[in-house]
């Protein structure tokens, strides 16, 4: 059982890590090293021997291994990223890199995504060192750089260049799961992630005939691009149910006493009410135009126009995604992957999933644990290259009215102290028993 020092340290570590500005603007200027050194020092204080690795100077990763008591058991990867997305201080109630603890809440960029989990891992490992406890399975602890961009300096680099550090690992746990979802009707749902949609960030390029803005031009690149992104934005993607999403819909329907009719999923989602938010983004592929770049003067028709699209596809859905984009862009617009990563799926009937469920239920007996698929992605994509099956498990018990999803990349990101305490207890219980 996590001791009082662990409960104190998880708050201290979350606050300290937030104060270390690891903003990742995707331009290569992020410096995770100070946060990596902070984490490594606390691992070393627990008697471990952390390794610091960089592909690019300052883009530092930390890996350490805890030896388990059962050499025949497959090691488990426990990982979190150190970088965060940008934050504009003028938009926040509290400075985003203050790490301020106010009225029982820790404020700042990374409080949820995901320096809270980094702090939980450190607090649990240090509590074990004080107790002299060793887990059954080897645990590989990894803190990564660059998750908020391409992961080329982080988990991608580790998986490709240092696979030996993860030798034997078959499963991993990381962000975005086991948090409280309040349905507005008194039920508390704890979704555990057992899948991720694939990432298909796209660059669209339309070419045409440059010319004077006052002349007739049937080969206007801007017009061609606008037509293509309108078709993409308005496209209705067909239903595609993966095993994880089927399990989520089935368990949610049972929770609400609704007949499970997967022949009409849209009607089922409507009956689920607010709980539909847990699955509605993952029953289809998606593609959302997000950026435009064209022209350099108002009276000049440019010869080229560029757009970017955030595409996501479900396990087994990439071929459909590619074919659909070919059709929607048409003959006058080319598209390519700006960044591509695989879709993931993890079994919901595994012993590891059962241990996660049991750990949550021990400390939140009023809760209802269900599987779900993440609409976005995590470092689990890169670690899957090593044959590691990934789950999302960052336990947090949250009060009603706290919008967990809005905290990710949002203004006034924050996490309650009690949620961190719950997370340490549940993570400790899970890692002791898995």
Give the rounded percent of residues in the chain with a pLDDT score beyond 90: 98
Rounded to whole angstroms, the Cα distance separating 230 from 351 reads 46
Tokens of 14: 């979350």
**Predicted pLDDT of residue 261:** 86
Query: Beta strands 171-174 and 181-182: pairing type?
Result: unpaired
The topology under which CATH files domain 4-176+378-433 is Aminopeptidase (3.40.630)
What is 82-109 written as a DSSP string?
--B----GGG-SS-TTS--EETTEEEST
370, 248 Cβ separation under 8 angstroms: yes
Rounded to whole angstroms, the Cα distance separating 292 from 203 reads 10
183 given a catalytic annotation: no
Q: What is the DSSP letter of 278?
A: G
| Longest Cα–Cα distance in the chain | 79
147 given a catalytic annotation: yes
177, 192 Cβ separation under 8 angstroms: yes
Encode pLDDT of 117-159 as tens digits. 999 999 999 999 999 999 999 999 999 999 999 999 999 999 9
Does the domain at 200-341 match CATH 3.40.50.620? Answer given as no
Encode pLDDT of 233-284 as tens digits. 999 999 999 999 999 999 999 999 999 889 899 999 999 999 999 999 999 9
Encode pLDDT of 11-58 as tens digits. 999 999 999 999 999 989 999 999 999 999 999 999 999 999 999 999
Please give the backbone phi and psi of residue 90, each rounded to the nearest 5 degrees, phi first: -65, -20
45, 126 Cβ separation under 8 angstroms: yes
Cα R_g (the chain), whole angstroms = 23
Please check the confidence at residue 1 and state whether its pLDDT lies above 80. no
Encode pLDDT of 59-72 as tens digits. 999 999 999 999 99
Please check the confidence at residue 2 and state whether its pLDDT lies above 90. no
User: Collapsing DSSP states into helix, strand and coil, what is residue 91?
Assistant: helix
Which residue in the list 113, 138, 146, 147 is annotated as catalytic?
147
Whats the size of the chain, residue-wise? 434
Tokens of 285: 């592929």
Average pLDDT over residues 98-125: 98
Tokens of 193: 């992630």
Mean pLDDT score of the chain = 97
Please check the confidence at residue 358 and state whether its pLDDT lies above 90. yes
Which residue in the list 83, 171, 183, 379 is annotated as catalytic?
83
What is 223-239 written as a DSSP string?
HHHHHHHHHHHH--PPP
- The region of weakest confidence among 292-296, 344-348, 373-377, 423-427 is 373-377
Pick the closest to residue 144 from 178, 126, 170, 118 (CA basis): 118
What is 358-408 written as a DSSP string?
HHHHHH-TTEEEEEEEESS--THHHHGGGT-EEEE---B---TT--HHHHT
How do the domains of the chain map onto residue ranges? 4-176+378-433, 200-341
């Amino acid at each position: 059982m996590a001791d009082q020092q662990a409960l104190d340290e998880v708050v201290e570590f979350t606050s300290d890590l937030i104060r270390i500005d690891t903003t990742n603007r995707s331009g290569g200027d992020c410096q995770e090293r100070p946060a990596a050194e902070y984490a490594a020092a606390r691992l070393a204080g627990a008697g471990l021997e952390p390794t610091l690795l960089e592909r690019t100077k300052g883009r530092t990763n930390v890996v350490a291994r805890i030896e388990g008591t059962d050499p025949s058991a497959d090691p488990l990867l426990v990982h979190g990223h150190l970088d965060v997305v940008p934050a504009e201080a003028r938009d926040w109630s509290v400075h985003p890199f203050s790490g301020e603890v106010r009225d029982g809440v820790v404020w700042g960029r990374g409080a949820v995504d995901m320096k809270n989990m980094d702090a939980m891992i450190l607090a649990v490992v240090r509590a074990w060192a004080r107790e002299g406890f060793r887990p059954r399975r080897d645990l590989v602890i990894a803190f990564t750089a660059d998750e908020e961009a391409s992961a080329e300096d982080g988990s991608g680099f580790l998986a490709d260049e240092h696979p030996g550090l993860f030798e034997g690992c078959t499963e991993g746990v990381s962000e975005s799961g086991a948090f409280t979802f309040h349905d507005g009707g008194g039920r508390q749902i704890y979704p555990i992630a057992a899948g991720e949609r694939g990432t298909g960030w796209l660059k669209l390029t339309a070419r045409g005939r440059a010319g004077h803005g006052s002349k007739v031009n049937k080969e206007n690149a801007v017009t061609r691009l606008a037509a293509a992104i309108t078709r993409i934005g308005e496209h209705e993607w067909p239903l595609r149910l993966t095993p994880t999403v089927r399990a989520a819909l089935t368990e949610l329907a049972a929770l609400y006493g609704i007949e499970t009719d997967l022949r009409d999923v849209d009607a089922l989602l409507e009956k689920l009410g607010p709980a539909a938010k847990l699955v509605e983004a993952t029953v289809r592929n998606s593609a959302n135009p997000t950026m435009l770049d064209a022209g350099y003067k108002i009276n000049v028709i440019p010869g080229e126009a560029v757009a970017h699209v955030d595409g996501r596809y479900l396990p087994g859905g990439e071929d459909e995604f590619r074919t659909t984009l070919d059709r929607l862009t048409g003959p006058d617009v080319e598209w390519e992957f700006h960044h591509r990563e695989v879709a993931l799926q993890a079994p919901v009937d595994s012993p590891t999933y059962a241990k996660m469920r049991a750990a949550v239920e021990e400390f939140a007996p009023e809760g209802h644990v269900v599987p779900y698929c993440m609409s976005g992605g995590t470092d689990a994509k890169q670690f899957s290259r090593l044959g590691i099956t990934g789950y999302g498990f960052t336990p947090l018990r949250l009060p009603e009215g706290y919008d967990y999803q809005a905290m990710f990349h949002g203004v006034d990101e924050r996490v309650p102290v009690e949620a961190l305490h719950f997370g340490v207890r549940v993570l400790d219980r899970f890692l002791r028993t898995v």
